[in-house]
């Protein structure tokens, strides 16, 4: 994260308290520092607003205010203005103070977050000359920020064309909304918010617990969002949903580590949270997950031992007996020495979207796409581009089937406050010709079919496009196949006659909701005469 300077910040906080021992503003500084520890920069910035009115030229207040505004919402330009004043008050010398080094590091970050990439790069280049060679940790941080600046300059030259729209006040609030997940038919949206509740007002940070909310698409719009009934004390966050929309993936943090849970939708009600077993959850921190189209493979992020550094992306596949198999690291093509988060495996099974602080990031987390080649190796990791990616943290990128739309969380000036949920729409100049096919399979009595197998075959070359199994609780089947092709569907269920259905998906029919309800016909054995 861009504010991952906790060690440095804590050192400054300790220094600041001693610095302010005999100052009139000692109590206010302590209050602001307490809020900063909980990353509640917005409320802390209000304290500095008052202090700046009373002590407009105090170097210490200016330093602290600039640092706080750097991480506060909508105050980056004020941070730049203040930190430009601060660096003049702490000149670089042969024996540089911590403040002289830190304020320039913050000014470089402020320029970067204000899209003044060339200025930021110049500050870092000057600063690097003043840091002793023995401070390798500090030099590494400066080198990393310089790389971010160079990447930003390069990516900004070729902006991505798209239309973005806020989902509106029925979804977004003045608080943070993030981690949107949408089912394949785009009629159910789930997301995470720390909006205020009666309980949240009691928290020391002044921020609410993160909880899961949902909205349904009705009559051409998203209706008012409501909390789902599986929220518990502490943070609960949406991280994924199964292709059939029946299994919701949840991240839950107990205060020390986080794990991945799931809830199943039965009779229009989400069930209790169930923790994924080992080897998915470990003694480490598991944060995000995504199901493959058939629901048999789970991609997830974890900081467990044995990775390439920080959080890595892994996958695990179900065994024939229903247990989860061996966890596999996705390897150095995907994972870096920095953090990788929020994997999303596209229904085509060949494109993996994820966020990373490494690769060619503009700063913090950027969103990348990787392709699975014919040999099963991930390659061609590419930054999805500016201005979808920004100098800030960009995560939770889950495109629709045709990859023409994305539900996306971002902090923008036109929002309602905090992080809001937006819809990104790309130009329809090269649509992905995939079609969603769904329907139901029932017994003659109208019960969901059990242990059925649906095989989709390309009639032209006899190639099997996929094998799918309807939900045993609802009978629903769903799959995605290329358009402009004639297919044969074979449905096989023990004790029932096979069903053969031929159908064609025309071209230009991306995201068509084709489907059919089938009733099984039992096999009747004739008695021996």
- The stretch 16-26 carries a mean pLDDT of 57
- In the block, which residue shows the tokens 């205060």? 255
Host H or E run for residue 362: none
Identify whether the C-beta of residue 506 lies closer than 8 Å to the C-beta of residue 484: yes
Domains of the chain: 6-156 (1.25.40.10), 163-425 (2.120.10.30), 434-519 (2.60.40.10)
Cα torsion 406, 410, 415, 416 to 10°: value is 110
Confidence of residue 205 (pLDDT cuts 50, 70, 90): low
Give me the percent of the chain exceeding a pLDDT of 90: 59
| Order of strands across the sheet that contains 499-505 | 464-468, 452-458, 485-493, 499-505
Among residues 62, 69, 80, 78, which one has the least CA distance to residue 45?
A: 69
Q: What is the pLDDT of residue 5?
A: 45
In sequence order, the β-bridge partners of residue 371 are 351, 379
Among residues 171, 12, 30, which one has the least CA distance to residue 98?
A: 12
What pLDDT digit, counting tens, does each position of 122-147 carry? 999 999 998 888 889 999 999 999 99
What pLDDT digit, counting tens, does each position of 153-179 carry? 999 999 999 999 999 999 999 888 999
- The stretch 416-440 carries a mean pLDDT of 80
- Single pTM value for the model: 0.84
Q: How many CB atoms lie within 10 A of CB 525?
A: 6
Identify whether the C-beta of residue 188 lies closer than 8 Å to the C-beta of residue 214: yes
* Two structure tokens written together for 189: 């949206």
Identify whether the C-beta of residue 195 lies closer than 8 Å to the C-beta of residue 173: yes
Q: What is the pLDDT of residue 71?
A: 92
- The stretch 481-485 carries a mean pLDDT of 81
Q: What is the pLDDT of residue 198?
A: 63
- The stretch 443-450 carries a mean pLDDT of 91
For the chain, the average pLDDT equals 87
Q: Mind giving me the DSSP string for 239-297?
A: EEE-TTS-EEEEEEE-SS-EEEEEEEEETTEE---EEPPTTTS-SS-EEEEEE-TTS-E
Distances (CA, A) of 254 to 229, 232, 298, 335, 433: 18, 10, 22, 26, 43
Q: What angle do CA 353, 354, 359 make, to 5 degrees?
A: 115
Confidence of residue 184 (pLDDT cuts 50, 70, 90): confident
Rg (CA), the chain: 26
Q: Mind giving me the DSSP string for 373-423?
A: -TTS-EEEEEE--TTTS-SS-----EE-TTSSEEEEEE--TTSSSSSEEEE
**Alpha-carbon span 416 to 173, nearest angstrom:** 6
What pLDDT digit, counting tens, does each position of 342-355 carry? 999 998 888 999 99
**Alpha-carbon span 210 to 194, nearest angstrom:** 4
H helix runs in 58-191, sequence order: 59-70, 76-89, 98-113, 117-130, 136-156
Among residues 270, 265, 341, which one has the least CA distance to residue 307?
A: 341
Among residues 31, 46, 26, 34, which one has the least CA distance to residue 9?
A: 34
Among residues 235, 303, 234, 246, which one has the least CA distance to residue 271?
A: 246
């Amino acid at each position: 994260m861009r504010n991952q300077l906790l060690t440095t910040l804590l050192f400054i906080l300790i220094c600041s308290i001693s610095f302010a021992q005999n100052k009139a503003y000692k109590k206010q500084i302590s209050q602001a520092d307490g809020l900063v520890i909980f990353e509640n920069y917005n409320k802390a910035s209000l304290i500095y607003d008052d202090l700046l009115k009373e002590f407009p030229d105090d170097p210490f207040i200016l330093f602290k205010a600039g640092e706080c505004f750097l991480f506060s919402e909508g105050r980056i330009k004020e941070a730049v203005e203040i930190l430009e004043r601060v660096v003049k008050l702490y000149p670089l010398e042969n024996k540089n103070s911590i403040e002289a080094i830190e304020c320039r590091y913050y000014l470089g970050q402020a320029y970067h977050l204000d899209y003044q990439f060339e200025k930021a790069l110049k500050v870092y280049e000057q600063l690097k000359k003043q840091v002793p060679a023995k401070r390798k940790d500090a030099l590494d941080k400066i080198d990393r920020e310089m790389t971010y600046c160079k990447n930003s300059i390069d990516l900004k030259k070729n902006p991505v064309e798209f239309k973005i729209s806020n989902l509106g006040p029925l979804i977004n609030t003045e608080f943070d909304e993030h981690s949107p997940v949408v089912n394949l038919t785009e009629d159910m949206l789930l997301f995470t918010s720390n909006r205020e509740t009666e309980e949240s007002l009691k928290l020391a940070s002044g921020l609410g617990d993160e909880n899961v909310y949902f909205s349904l698409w009705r009559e051409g719009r998203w209706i008012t969002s409501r909390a789902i009934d599986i929220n518990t004390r502490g943070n609960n966050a949406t991280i994924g949903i199964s292709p059939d929309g029946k299994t919701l993936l949840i991240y839950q943090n107990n205060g020390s580590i986080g794990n991945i849970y799931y809830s199943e939708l039965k009779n229009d009600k989400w069930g209790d949270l169930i923790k994924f077993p080992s080897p998915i959850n470990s003694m480490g921190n598991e944060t995000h997950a995504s199901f493959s189209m058939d629901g048999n493979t789970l991609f997830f992020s974890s900081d467990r031992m044995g990775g390439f550094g920080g959080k890595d992306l892994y996958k695990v596949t179900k065994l024939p007996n229903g247990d989860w198999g061996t966890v596999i690291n996705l390897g150095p093509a995907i994972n870096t020495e920095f953090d990788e988060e929020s994997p999303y495996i596209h229904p085509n099974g060949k494109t993996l979207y994820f966020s990373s602080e490494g690769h060619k990031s503009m700063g913090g987390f950027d969103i990348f796409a990787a392709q699975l080649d014919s040999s099963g190796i991930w390659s061609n990791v590419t930054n999805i581009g500016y201005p979808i990616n920004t100098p800030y943290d960009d995560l939770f990128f889950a495109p629709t089937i045709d990859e023409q739309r994305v539900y996306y969380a971002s902090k923008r000036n036109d929002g309602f406050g905090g992080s809001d949920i937006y819809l990104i729409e790309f130009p329809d100049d090269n649509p992905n010709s995939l079609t969603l096919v769904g329907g139901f399979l029932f017994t003659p009595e109208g019960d969901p079919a059990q242990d059925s197998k649906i095989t989709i075959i390309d009639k032209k070359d006899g190639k099997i496009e996929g094998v799918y199994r309807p939900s045993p609780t609802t009978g629903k089947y769903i799959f995605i196949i290329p358009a402009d092709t004639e297919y044969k569907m074979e449905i096989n269920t023990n004790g029932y006659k096979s069903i053969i259905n031929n159908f064609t998906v025309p071209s230009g029919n991306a995201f068509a909701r084709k489907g059919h309800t089938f009733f099984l016909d039992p096999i009747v054995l004739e008695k021996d005469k």
